[in-house]
A and B are shown apart, each in its own frame.
Chain A
Amino acid sequence: MTLHSIRRILSVAGPLLGLGVLVFATPEGVAAQTPDLGQQTLGRAYWHVFIAYTIGWALILGWIVSIARRVGALERRIEREE
């Protein structure tokens, strides 16, 4: 496996993760569940769940991006040497 292929996979996996979080973790998504859940009136709690999952996945995405950037920096170093 080359550095380039790792970076390519990470660059696809990152946006996919972000999309998954946006689809599943939006307050509207939570509210659109069963009627029982829709009746809950703790509006602020929806936002707390949304923010918690968004921050969590943003941090993981940040780590993925930082690994991808390091792979990119290594590739540039190797190219310079060659």
Chain B
Amino acid sequence: MKGRTGWIGVALALAGVAMSLVTLWLVFFRVGTDFRQGIVQRIFYLHVPAAWVAFMAFGIVALASAVYLWLGDERADMAALSAAEGGMVFTAIVLTSGPLWGKIAWGTYWTWEPRLTLTLLLGFIYVGYMMVRRATESPERGKRFAAVVGIIGAINIPLIHMSVYWFRSLHPDPVVLKPDGPTLDADMLQTLLVGLVAFTLLFTGLMILRYRVERARHALDIREAT
């Protein structure tokens, strides 16, 4: 596994780690405490960047899956698999940090309201993507089925974002991605943006490394078969 992309992956991951440490410092030592929610609001700086990365990952899965179905390029399938694996990790972070905040803010860990339910569904779609890959005797068939799951599953992302507008929802409305601009305090917005960049770098770096590993494994499989 030689090449420049390996180093790019490591550099991005290390930059992500460094920025994550900066984010932790901002979250616990610099940014002010929300006067209504108190200290528990600080989960927001973990929860929102993780959700952003989970959505981005599924976007990559859908795009790479479409390329794989269209061109049959194995590299696209490997990219989709690498993104899906990272997406599962960050969706798990969303699904654990959210209820921990909810217990203090709402008085319950879980409620079957639209955004929470759709996010849980996103987690199940990621799991389904992984399971479908191994569910068939022919690996090629499994990859094609998984690609279809990856594309169809992406429909869930805009649904999750819009669910707070379309349905009666307990989940807070967006405070950054809204038509009339962010309504967050400047310090909070800055901390959130640093967190978003940190997780994006970390995910991208680790995804590239995971992709490199998958390519090396694939090359070895071919070498052993011939």
Question: A29-B28, A40-B33, A56-B96 are known contacts. Are A74 and B213 too (CB-CB below 8 A)?
Answer: yes
Considering only CB atoms and an 8 Å cut-off, how many residues of chain A contact the other chain? 42
Asked if B17 and A17 sit within 8 Å, CB to CB, the answer is yes
Residues of B with C-beta under 8 A to A63: 85-86, 89, 206
Question: Closest chain B residue to A50 by CB distance?
Answer: B100
Residues of A with C-beta under 8 A to B97: 52, 55-56
- Tell yes or no: B216 within 8 A of A by CB: yes
Question: A3-B216, A20-B20 are known contacts. Are A51 and B38 too (CB-CB below 8 A)?
Answer: no
Asked if B216 and A74 sit within 8 Å, CB to CB, the answer is yes
Asked if B10 and A56 sit within 8 Å, CB to CB, the answer is no
Considering only CB atoms and an 8 Å cut-off, how many residues of chain B contact the other chain? 47
A21 to B: closest C-beta gap in Å: 7
Asked if B40 and A45 sit within 8 Å, CB to CB, the answer is yes
Give complex CA distance A17, B103 in Å.
27
Question: A25-B24, A56-B46 are known contacts. Are A33 and B29 too (CB-CB below 8 A)?
Answer: yes
Asked if B210 and A20 sit within 8 Å, CB to CB, the answer is no
Question: A17-B17, A17-B20 are known contacts. Are A74 and B217 too (CB-CB below 8 A)?
Answer: yes
B165 to A: closest C-beta gap in Å: 26
Give complex CA distance A48, B217 in Å.
40
- Tell yes or no: B56 within 8 A of A by CB: no
Give complex CA distance A63, B203 in Å.
10
Which one of B1-9, B113-121, B175-183 is at the interface?
B1-9
- Tell yes or no: B201 within 8 A of A by CB: no
A-B contact pairs, 12 of them (CB 8 A): A9-B14, A13-B17, A20-B17, A24-B25, A25-B24, A30-B42, A40-B39, A45-B104, A46-B39, A59-B93, A67-B210, A74-B217
